[in-house]
Structure 1
């Protein structure tokens, strides 16, 4: 008799059965866009409607997604609404830059994210994670969402900046929350495509947090420049140095260097932090999935000290992380806008349409996944991976603008999970009642208070 328990179904908004009014839609989009989507979004290959800001196309069909993000990517620019939210924060960083600026930035950063460099980051990733877990006391209840923000900040500082980020880590975690709580939200005026001179309440509230990050960047760059002047050959050849060396008439401007630093400090660590937190939460609620993962980690760590090999040697650990990325994609929306109108398989995409590829929706689509709302890591076991279309699973995006740090994030996540789960067990408590909320990333409202017990 099969005694395997029913799969864990983690919290998520139920699809709407009645479309919201315009006023209600604006309120939902400001509060939590994940609560906006109705049953058709989770069942149809695409939705084409006239929204409050103009034509709206929600693309769920993998073939349509591939067309927009890859095959005809040249015809699609970053969506106006998305840029209105992100550009005030990131300016000409890699996530928001377009055209020649984007090409220069991508070229400048490519050497940092080659496999050779990423393998070189494994040892410092391991070092920082081991140091981090030593802070835990047996039996303590801690907010794991906050902890993962701190851990990934430590790893980012050590790997990409060689430990030389100006600023205090505790303040960093608080300010990143404040930044995403304010400027990271969709402002109703942006949805209406109101002129930029109209003040946005969200951006006014976020100015202090943004100034904090800009100050970190200015001081970080100044520290490294002084070191390069003192000892050009002894300075670390990391992300920061490579960016500064890319500065010049044919490369990056100083403003673009600083914008890319703030992109990686702010957004580059946040996505992995959220994914790690959701993974530990799902495993706590599905201990029958956690036990084989712990056994796998214990076996690998007992005979393989080289962390560059763990990703390949831990398929079950990788699968639970990838399933958490499916259920709670850190970047829940990819927004594009056509430069020229076109028709794809009978779907007319008009000029100025907001074309949304929503990993949140695509990852839970009824026609693409079996039991889409359940936590089932077996989907990503090696024997099953071939069943997943490349364009139905998009935690890192796709096409020319695919996340440059995807391999970095996967290695970081497996190393972090291996150390965390080999030393401790994370269990939910009565106060653990997270609710997914979209604020640039998919965040757990209320945090993730969990009991940390030594194994």
Structure 2
């Protein structure tokens, strides 16, 4: 009988055993918030403290998480600190909009993300992936983190914008890294809730990159708007057209349309790219899991040509991706604050308290998971998947503001993994030493340099 392999423990900060000083806390939050959390964050149902920016609650208990994100969601708005980081980038996009603006945007986008539409995206997703992977035929070394950013950009451009995004794709990955490196960081002044008129160094550094993205979006919208006027019968019925048709007195403003395009070009594709990179890395380190996934993919591709069916037909591949999402949630924190005082059991949550629901700590919580730091895709195998509580696994959030593109992302990821892993093998190198860093998404500092060989 074969010995059971020792689970792979991918890199992550060791929980702190002593609280940092105020100055150290500010420095850590700016550099990498994932390094801030101590042992209580991974063991307690919640933590309630007075932080440097006011009262703070860290919510880990699934019941409390449901209370905040679902049952009493109307009493919770986006946290002020989070808005100070994201609004300069996304403005009134779906991730940052509140109230009626959010409702209008959600309503306008909902038809694009119905199962019928998402299934219709499967063939374009497959075609773009097949075109993309030809670069690997010669083998060699590559930065998989960078590559996945480019692949998911290609897929998003083709499916939601019918390939009609202004600008040059080659510079896109570099610019989005720069955007998250600057404007995507927590500024110490935001943490201290300083007034908005005080200049933030991070945002000053990101102005040029932000202007780059805004220019792409303005030109993209202008191109499609002109096409809808001059040749409406031949305009593609995609995400961009749908948004433009929702423009009007009772719908979206042109500014809101551009904000939502920025949201999906930037944050929307970035999250899937990071999850794909971490999945390929973990499988390269846990070769026994990679072998199982490769066998499954080969079997399915030999008998099932329809990519729509791959998600359900590849439970091991899906499980590996879901486990990577658990260990490295693309959105590692969900920030809320109550509009009025609230309570949950004996916990009192005062008005304007910053409430953190952190997939990073919830997904690694000692009371919720067995061997929480290990890469163990079997947790998500079909016979065990139902044992995972809805509010202990939050890669796409929960409640009214759950990620609208979750099904899109899952289908995209499985199609991409199926093609990548059926044709090529990805192996780590001595210099492959990624360190998870929170810059809006959970990114591998240093990238993911890997050797690619054709199978």
TM-score, length of structure 2 as denominator length: 1.00
SS at match of 1:383: helix
CA distance in 1, matches of 2:351, 2:75: 11
CA distance in 2, matches of 1:118, 1:409: 10
CA distance in 2, matches of 1:164, 1:423: 29
Show the counterpart of 2:184: 184
CA distance in 1, matches of 2:99, 2:227: 33
The CA deviation at 1:2 is 4.4
Show the counterpart of 2:63: 63
Show the counterpart of 1:304: 304
Deviations 1:156-208 (A, max 9, x none): 00000000000111111110000000000000000000000000000000000
1:8 pairs with 2:8: yes
The CA deviation at 1:233 is 1.1
Show the counterpart of 1:286: 286
CA distance in 2, matches of 1:73, 1:87: 21
Runs of 4+ in 1 over 3 A off after TM superposition: none
CA distance in 2, matches of 1:176, 1:323: 26
The CA deviation at 1:4 is 2.0
Greater shift, 79-88 or 228-237, is seen at 228-237
Deviations 1:130-164 (A, max 9, x none): 00001113331000000000000000000000000
Q: List aligned pairs for 1:129-148, cutoff 5 A.
A: 129-148=129-148
CA distance in 1, matches of 2:19, 2:255: 43
Show the counterpart of 1:427: 427
SS at match of 2:161: coil
CA distance in 2, matches of 1:328, 1:239: 28
SS at match of 2:232: coil
Deviations 1:16-35 (A, max 9, x none): 00000000000000000000
CA distance in 2, matches of 1:275, 1:182: 21
CA distance in 1, matches of 2:2, 2:302: 32
CA distance in 2, matches of 1:111, 1:449: 39
List runs of 5+ in structure 2 lacking aligned partners. Answer: none
Show the counterpart of 2:206: 206
Deviations 1:265-300 (A, max 9, x none): 000100000000000000000000000100000010
Show the counterpart of 1:259: 259
1:235 pairs with 2:199: no
1:150 pairs with 2:150: yes
Q: List aligned pairs for 1:33-432, cutoff 5 A.
A: 33-432=33-432
Show the counterpart of 2:438: 438
The CA deviation at 1:342 is 1.3
List runs of 5+ in structure 1 lacking aligned partners. Answer: none
TM-score, length of structure 1 as denominator length: 1.00
RMSD: 0.6
CA distance in 1, matches of 2:286, 2:4: 11
The CA deviation at 1:230 is 1.9
The CA deviation at 1:229 is 1.6
Deviations 1:65-105 (A, max 9, x none): 00000000000000000000000000000000000000000
Show the counterpart of 1:449: 449
SS at match of 1:387: coil
CA distance in 1, matches of 2:297, 2:137: 21
